[in-house]
Chains A and B, each alone.
Chain A
Amino acid sequence: MNLFARRFRRLVTGIALLLPLGLTAQPVHEHDLKAAFVYNFALFTDWPADTIYEGGTLNICINPASALRPALNALRDKPIRGRRIALREPAPGTVRACHVLFLEATDRRAWPQMREALAGATVLTVADDQEPGLEGSIIMLGFEGNRIVFSIDTRAAGAASLILSSKLLRLAAEVR
């Protein structure tokens, strides 16, 4: 019981960092929310057993200029399945080493080349907004009123050999 109680107390104090999501979203900045979404997606995704983790880190590739980067950077000390998070810059040559690839409007130009490079790679691609030109990513973020929602392309996930938790699928606004 004691252990249980202690765990609960720890939960109460540490929870603000772990779960930076507020439904009203008003006091929290949109970038922080999106960064938390990305982080949570990684949490509900199963990579194949033979996935390579160079340096033991789970690599989240994001454009160095992205507004989400500081927020994601803040989550670096929150390991996922025991692996620390590392932020990388996506480049067509090294993109296969990414585990999560976050794409936004600025990446639209590089996307077709990267998409080719990614063929068959076990990379969870998350596209911000429903930007035209980022077609083919596995998860797409969007807005419904002032609520952040997401849709999932299960075919793309299957092509990347990733398994997304049914819990995640249930929360998706659209599953294709």
Chain B
Amino acid sequence: MIAPAFKTKRARLGRWLDLANLVTAGAALLVASMLLILFQFMSLRSALVEDVAIQARIIGDNSAAALMFADSRAATETLSALEGAPAILAASLFPADGKALATYRRANAASVAAPSEALQAAGHIFSFNRLELVRAVRIDGRDLGFVVLRASLERLYARLIGYAGLTLAIAMGSLIVAYLLVARMRRAVKKAEAHLEYLAHIDPVTGLPNRHAFNERLAFALGRADHAGGSVGLLLIDLDNFKIVNDTLGHHCGDRLLKVVAQRLLGCLRAGDVISRIGGDEFAVILEAAGSADGERPARKVLSVLGAPFEVDGHEIYVTASVGISLYPDDALDLDTLTRNADTAMYQAKGKGKNGYEKFHPELDRRIQKRLSLESKLRKALERAELSLHYQPQFRISDGHLVGLEALLRWDHPELGAVSPVEFIPVAEDCGLIVPIGRWVLRTACAELAAWRDAGFGVIHVSVNLSARQTRDPHLMHDILQALRDYKISPTQLELEITESVLMDNVHANVELLHRLQTEGIRLSIDDFGTGYSSMAYLKRFPIDQVKIDRTFVRDIPGDRDDEAITTAIIAMAHSLGLSVVAEGVETEQQLEFLRAAGCDIMQGFYFAEPGTAEQIAAFLGSRIGGVKNAVLPA
């Protein structure tokens, strides 16, 4: 939306233009009318001269004989015929010697005098309201005298005034009609423009300004802050679980929710604050009032008004939001940076567990920069073969037998050195690189399994982690089967590990995927069990073969009563559902003993074996064949 100051300026300019147009058109019409009237005057005048000249000629012809015989009576009679010509005021017939032979006068008009030399020379002379005209009377080629007529211009003027009135009235009328038409057209155009502007600047769902309008407003606010001093706060509000509402209740319901959220946000902000909807479930607030410029108070207010449940189509919906705050000019010196910083802060708030707000600080920015550089390096990592797989053996507790290997992704960057998966996996997940990387992991694991098989190390099982993004990849199933087929690996040798949160991300789609995987004979394991939802229901619903106890529980046992209880409970429950249990992160003998006592099936951890490269694992497998069974497994 255009700032009001621009608008009034534009409107005033528009009115001036209208007026100028009108005046110009009026002046042009007036000039045209004047010229028409002048032309009409000239033609009326020359018509009058013609008329009077004809009359003079008729009179002259008819009175030639009378003039010749000096018959005043006959001449007067001839002149008296002029009564029929109302424009003629007076007329006289002069013989050559100059004394009037006959005179005619209308009413009390003055009689005409003998023609002056000038009049004789010109033939006719106009005065303000008279025309005097002289014509010679001739017979047999000889001049006998002349007839002089005086005509009144009154009738000419009367006709001219009538004509002028009509012309001006028509000009005026056409001006008015044109003005009305133009005004009407202009109104229509203005309305269309206003509508277009509305469409261009307003989000139809919530009636709030859209991203486009938001950018204009923000630029305007920043400009004002530059000139008048002061600061501008920017809040970015992202609804945390809006996607679930959309997925489960439908888009219509989602739109309704957005509308009531927008209303509530509008209600809690001050008059000077501008709120816009800048994305699907993202809102932005521009805080111009100096008092609220630190942004924390409005952010708290936003979170608290969203706290109460929303009533939409009979559903009671709870909405939380993550808010990022960025300040101008403290955090950023331009619009793009300001928005990006607010975005960064908002993601930080989300990362901290959502339903909170975060102020931007430079540390966040550095983290983002690092993440971006990591992303660009990661893109090249696959091509440059900087990635490799390490494997950590898993052993059966009851007899110490190797049951399988967990494939662990490693990244060795030439400059950064070994980069932790905790660092780069979320980056890969965010930018989508996880899909090609995941495919590479699967194929590499299969290739190495095939190599070990061919080396005579027997049938080895391997477990590979699946990320959330991968489960949404429509080619996942195809990629897995292709890898297995290419390296002639049996599906039963492959185990896929999925975290609870990945499973819950899209329950419906995942149930189907897992069923298909199980149908192919691939084993499925829940990773990090106990950290997320830990829903008993889905254990029953998903076709799962194994549960992996998270290392955070293992770390504090024995000793921590709670962790002991949880671990025991998970093992008991998994067993009663017919699932095997893996404990990871086992590092001490005490932990091993506790888990053995609790009935845990499989162990994995430094206590037994560190993750090793493919070569190290090959050596380990070879040594096992060689007779030194369970060399790394004490007890």
Contact = CB atoms under 8 A, between A and B. Distances in A.
A19 B144 contact: yes
Contact of B136 (A11, A19, A167): A11
A12 interface: yes
A15 B65 CA distance: 15
Query: Could you say which of A11, A16, A21, A23 has the most chain B C-beta atoms within 10 Å of its C-beta?
Result: A11
Given A11-B96, A19-B96, A171 B66 contact: yes
A171 B69 contact: yes
B508 interface: no
Nearest to B134: A8
A168 B121 contact: no
Given A1-B122, A19-B68, A23-B72, A7 B97 contact: no
Nearest to B62: A167
Contact of B121 (A1, A11, A14): A1
Interface in B88-125: 95-98, 120-123
Interface in B19-77: 62, 64-72, 74
B142 interface: yes
Interface string A7-44: 11011101110110111000000000000010010011
Interface in B114-150: 120-123, 136, 139-140, 142-146
Query: Could you say which of B64, B98, B136, B143 has the most chain A C-beta atoms within 10 Å of its C-beta?
Result: B143
Contacts of B72: 23
Nearest to A18: B142
B140 A8 contact: no
B143 A171 contact: no
B139 A43 contact: yes
A170 B74 contact: yes
A53 to B, nearest CB: 16
Given A11-B143, A19-B95, A43-B139, A171 B121 contact: no
B120 A5 contact: yes
Interface residues on B, range: 20 to 34
Contacts of B122: 1
Interface in A38-82: 40, 43-44, 80-81
Interface string A77-115: 000110000000000000000000000000000000000
A165 B74 CA distance: 15
A15 B70 contact: no
A8 B69 contact: no
Given A8-B146, A18-B142, A81-B140, A23 B70 contact: yes
A143 interface: no
Contacts of B123: 1, 4
Contacts of A2: 121
Given A43-B68, A171-B66, A15 B97 contact: yes
A8 B74 contact: no
A81 B145 CA distance: 19
A15 B95 contact: yes
A167 to B, nearest CB: 3
A171 B75 CA distance: 10
Contact of A40 (B69, B95, B136, B145): B69
Given A1-B122, A43-B139, A171-B69, 12 more contacts: A4-B121, A7-B136, A8-B136, A10-B143, A11-B143, A11-B145, A16-B97, A18-B142, A19-B68, A19-B70, A22-B70, A23-B72
20 contacts: A1-B122, A2-B121, A4-B123, A8-B143, A11-B96, A11-B145, A12-B97, A15-B96, A15-B143, A18-B144, A21-B68, A21-B69, A21-B70, A22-B70, A23-B72, A43-B68, A43-B139, A168-B65, A170-B66, A171-B69
